[in-house]
Amino acid sequence: MEFVINGRNLEISDRFREYATEKLDKIEQLGDKVQRVDAKITKELSARMADTSLTVELTVLCRGPVVRAEASAADKFAAFDLAYNKLLERLRRARDRRKIHHGRHTPVAVREATADLEPASTGQPLYLETRADEVEPTAAASAPADAYESPNDLPAGDSPVLIRRKVFSGASMTLDDAVDNMELVGHDFYLFVDSATGAPSVVYRRQAWTYGVITLDAKCAEGTEEPREEVLAYRATEAVASA
């Protein structure tokens, strides 16, 4: 397994490198044949962001989908621990999904899965209470650290507005798998090609633990079909198969 660590606006000390390397065993145990782990540490030079001046981004490249976590703190060790704990949780989630796909089609009963949970507070909506515990990064904040260069890095011309294009492979997958992959990388949206329709689509997180998906349909653009809406159940096919 390859481990790559680099810093932006700061040097990586041997002590921090050793500290991060000691954590790799747990990642390799939870991951599915981990090939590489990338760690990026970015220091924000603005004095107004002293409490979150250090950002650690961890990315695991393995046989399955990419798993990613990011966190910020005033100290790079604290930021690493926060990102590392998020990463382990997402790796466990991916491992549980693999167990179901490999033949264990009997989901855990809701009563059993929620037996140790505290009752939800009735003083405020559940999604507000959840966000108070852990605020997920927005789509812009969760972008890779190298997505933004110096303000002086302007394209040809004198426009102050930058548009940075990144091209990725259009992976074909089901809507359920797209939701899983979005949660594993910690983003608020995820682009994919719907294997059921062959159409480019984007799934995104909504409030109250629900999701939305937008699909581009050439037939609608041509006028041969009308735009439509539908409500789908997550993993409905697996639930029927296990019944």
Here the CATH number for the domain that contains residue 40 is: 3.30.160.100
Is the residue at 39 inside a domain? yes
**Domain edge (last residue) among 80, 104, 128:** 104
Largest CA distance in the chain: 63
Tell me phi and psi for residue 226, to 5 degrees.
-90, 145
Is the residue at 165 inside a domain? no
148 three-state secondary structure = coil
pLDDT above 70 (res 13): yes
pLDDT above 90 (res 68): no
225 three-state secondary structure = coil
Predicted pLDDT of residue 83: 92
Both tokens of 227, joined, read: 């735009």
Is the residue at 63 inside a domain? yes
Angle among Cα 207, 68, 110 to the nearest 5 degrees reads 50
Is the residue at 190 inside a domain? yes
Q: Which of 33-42, 177-186, 228-237 has the lowest mean pLDDT?
A: 228-237
Name which residue leads in pLDDT, 36 or 228. 36
Q: Which of 74-78, 82-86, 91-95, 144-148 has the lowest mean pLDDT?
A: 144-148
Contacts of 109 (CB under 8 A, 6+ apart): none
Predicted pLDDT of residue 80: 94
On average, the pLDDT of the chain sits at 75
State the residue range of the domain holding 200: 172-242
Domain count, the chain: 2
* pLDDT band (50, 70, 90) for residue 137: very low
Q: 70 - beta bridge partners?
A: 57
**Domain edge (last residue) among 104, 121, 142:** 104
Is the residue at 59 inside a domain? yes
Q: Which of 57-66, 77-86, 128-137 has the lowest mean pLDDT?
A: 128-137
Contact 131/154 with Cβ under 8 angstroms? no
Helix (H) or strand (E) holding 39: strand 36-43
pLDDT above 60 (res 151): no
Is the residue at 153 inside a domain? no
pLDDT above 50 (res 135): no
Name which residue leads in pLDDT, 57 or 163. 57
Predicted pLDDT of residue 180: 83
